[in-house]
Structure 1
Amino acid sequence: MRKPSLGGNPKVWSNEEVTQYDMMQSIVIPKKDEMLDIITSMIPFDENKALKVMEIGVGLGALTERIFNRFPESDFLGIDGSAQMIANAQERLKKFSGKIKILERNFNKPLWLNGVNDKFDLVCSSLTLHYLSTRRRREFFKEIFKVLKKKGTFIYSCAVKANSQSIQKIFVKIHRKYLRDQILKVMGKKFTDEDLDRVFKKRRDKMGINPATTVDHLDLLKKAGFSKVEFIWKHRHYAIFMGVK
């Protein structure tokens, strides 16, 4: 078992995990489309502006595609830790190939931004920053602040944990029922709690998911230097945050 405090391990995102990515997210993540739509709608720029955008954790390009559809003149730098994920994203995003570059980088390494010299209007991320290691959190948020232009915006969604153990237990109980219902709907299989532990807990432990609280996220944004910070959406243990430089 990987210690959660170590954060994510990009090596686990190999062929099988990448192939199953969309199906697994349709099972595991409630209101994923709503989450992506809110991130996109909260971008505070004119739609004709040629934005400089950096996305952390491109995945298969779902957020990238939405942003390009709203801001077609954007110049895009994507970051992802998995070579296989990048290859699949590039296939999905090939219609934007002249406007996007994706780098294989691990943001839990201090030099992950080496060679990135641009300043960005927008840094965004969807369902990725819960893979930050505990020791990297503070420096990472400062690094994002530094790469943003003046009045640049940082918007991201991630898994969070409750501020109290008792409420966290309620979240877990509700989410386990949600998982059982979704598995039956998507896969046609009936799962018990033991099945969930066997499949999902093992998967979660392997990936190094390391959620912080909503209070922690707002504190990290403030301490990094953001002049405006906001907690703009939440559904159980998934949330969206925003900071303006």
Structure 2
Amino acid sequence: MEHIKKAFDAVATEYDAQREHVIPDMRNYYGAAVWAAESPSQAPAILDVGAGTGLLSALLLEKYPGAAITLLDISEKMLAVAEERFSKKENVSFRTGDYAQADLGGPYDLVCSALSIHHLEPGDKRRLFLKIYRALSPGGIFVNADQAEGETPYFSERYLAYWNDFLANGPLSAHEHAEILKRRNTLDKNEKLSVQLAWLREAGFSDVDVVYRNRTFIVTVAGKA
């Protein structure tokens, strides 16, 4: 994970400003994740896995102002941006660490993640889903806004072409565009959506579904009975 840490340390300060120009339909994408993050409690315990600068956590705190939320990420510099974002929030805490290896703690009412887990190798993804299941309280929910490979080479190529066209027609500078492509080509390890759903069920989740898909970009939801 050290190469991932270095890559995101390097872009921490400009990460937020680039998001809408990197992720097609970003507001609906994140909106679907927030919609899916349901809890009977108005003050749920939440863990944000691979939290980065805290974009998803900030939206969840708008939905649940009384939530106790923990942001976990391997990049100290990304978390430093998050700490500044939440400097006036007493119910937000921060942990630096490799979530693929670390004890997640818990129990939590909600575990969420956005644009992070796709960096893991397949076996690590599969093991992480099981760890998240164990970290949730009964009735808890795991929401993952992430990336998925196409189910066939044809769709993988179509999805990549769609994303490339979006990036090429946006306002990013040539340098920013090149850096994003470099990170994508070296760090992304996308898995098919069908495989990810199977791993969630294998981990023990009972309610598993997809609430959003825009080609590569997906939001999956998994509930623990």
Task: Calculate the TM-score normalised by the size of structure 2.
Answer: 0.91
Give the counterpart of 1:24 among 18, 27, 35: 18
Structure 1: segments with no counterpart, 5+ residues: 1-5
After TM superposition, the structure 1 = structure 2 runs for residues 6-25 of structure 1, keeping only pairs within 5 Å, are 9-14=4-9, 16-25=10-19
User: Looking at both structures, which has the greater relative contact order when contacts are Cα pairs under 8 Å and sequence separation is at least 6?
Assistant: 1
Q: What's the secondary structure of 1:95's corresponding residue?
A: coil
After TM superposition, the structure 1 = structure 2 runs for residues 33-44 of structure 1, keeping only pairs within 5 Å, are 33-44=27-38
Q: Tell me if the contact between 2:36 and 2:211 (Cα under 8 Å) persists in the aligned partners.
A: no
How far apart, CA to CA, are the structure 2 residues paired with 1:18 and 1:123?
23
Report how far residue 8 of structure 1 moved: 6.7
Task: Give per-residue Cα distances to partners, 1:210-233, cap 9 Å, x unaligned.
Answer: 111110110010000001101111
Report how far residue 199 of structure 1 moved: 4.3
Q: 1:161 to 1:73 in 2, by over 3 A?
A: same
Q: Tell me if the contact between 1:7 and 1:132 (Cα under 8 Å) persists in the aligned partners.
A: no
For 1:13, the aligned partner's letter is: F
Task: Give per-residue Cα distances to partners, 1:59-86, cap 9 Å, x unaligned.
Answer: 2111111111111111111101100011
How far apart, CA to CA, are the structure 1 residues paired with 2:180 and 2:76?
23
Report how far residue 7 of structure 1 moved: 10
After TM superposition, the structure 1 = structure 2 runs for residues 159-238 of structure 1, keeping only pairs within 5 Å, are 159-182=147-170, 186-187=171-172, 198-206=178-186, 208-238=187-217
For 2:8, the aligned partner's letter is: W
Question: Bigger shift: 73-82 or 17-26?
Answer: 17-26
1:241 and 2:220 correspond: yes
After TM superposition, the structure 1 = structure 2 runs for residues 126-145 of structure 1, keeping only pairs within 5 Å, are 126-145=114-133
Task: Calculate the TM-score normalised by the size of structure 1.
Answer: 0.84
Identity value in percent: 22
4+ residue segments displaced more than 4 Å: none
How far apart, CA to CA, are the structure 2 residues paired with 1:157 and 1:218?
13
How far apart, CA to CA, are the structure 1 residues paired with 2:181 and 2:168?
14
For 2:214, the aligned partner's letter is: H
1:79 and 2:67 correspond: no
Structure 2: segments with no counterpart, 5+ residues: none
Q: What's the secondary structure of 1:123's corresponding residue?
A: strand
Q: What's the secondary structure of 2:88's corresponding residue?
A: helix
How far apart, CA to CA, are the structure 2 residues paired with 1:200 and 1:55?
23
Q: What's the secondary structure of 1:103's corresponding residue?
A: strand
Task: Give per-residue Cα distances to partners, 1:3-22, cap 9 Å, x unaligned.
Answer: xxx897222222x4112212
For 1:201, the aligned partner's letter is: L
Q: Tell me if the contact between 2:69 and 2:92 (Cα under 8 Å) persists in the aligned partners.
A: yes
After TM superposition, the structure 1 = structure 2 runs for residues 25-64 of structure 1, keeping only pairs within 5 Å, are 25-46=19-40, 49-64=42-57
Report how far residue 200 of structure 1 moved: 3.8
Q: Tell me if the contact between 2:7 and 2:183 (Cα under 8 Å) persists in the aligned partners.
A: no
Q: Tell me if the contact between 1:7 and 1:209 (Cα under 8 Å) persists in the aligned partners.
A: no
Q: What's the secondary structure of 1:136's corresponding residue?
A: helix
Task: Give per-residue Cα distances to partners, 1:78-113, cap 9 Å, x unaligned.
Answer: 1011000111100011121x11111011123x3x11
